[in-house]
């Protein structure tokens, strides 16, 4: 699942691909935004990210279900 952060005063976005439950990540991000604290995330490759929430304008959480690729099983 991808988590995309948009920041104030910059056109760039931060996209982090994480494993786990969408609801769990949504709760962590909501808590950090509500309390104006940092949110710590670990991507699928083990890299750790600390995001300061004071400049976050929006957060987009992708679907936690796997999408089928190709034409088989339609």
Examine residue 7 and state whether it is found in any structural domain, yes or no: yes
We report the CATH number of the domain holding residue 32 as 2.30.30
For the chain, give the number of residues: 74
pTM comes to 0.80
Examine residue 72 and state whether it is found in any structural domain, yes or no: no
Q: Strand ranges (DSSP E) for the chain?
A: 2-7, 13-17, 38-42, 48-52, 56-61
Over residues 42-53, the pLDDT tens digits come to 999 999 999 999
Examine residue 18 and state whether it is found in any structural domain, yes or no: yes
Q: In whole angstroms, what is the distance from residue 66 CA to residue 36 CA?
A: 32
Examine residue 31 and state whether it is found in any structural domain, yes or no: yes
Number of domains in the chain: 1
Q: Could you tell me if 3 and 24 are in contact, meaning their C-beta atoms sit under 8 angstroms apart?
A: no
Task: Report pLDDT for 62.
Answer: 87
Residue found under tokens 């962590």: 28
Examine residue 30 and state whether it is found in any structural domain, yes or no: yes
Task: Report pLDDT for 68.
Answer: 61
Examine residue 74 and state whether it is found in any structural domain, yes or no: no
């Amino acid at each position: 699942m991808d988590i995309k952060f948009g920041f104030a005063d910059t056109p760039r976005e931060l996209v982090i691909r994480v494993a786990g439950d969408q609801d769990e990540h949504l709760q962590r991000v909501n808590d950090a935004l509500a309390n104006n604290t940092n949110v710590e995330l670990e991507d699928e490759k083990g890299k750790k990210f600390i995001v300061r929430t004071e400049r976050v304008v929006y957060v987009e959480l992708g679907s936690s279900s796997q999408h089928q690729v190709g034409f088989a099983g339609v």
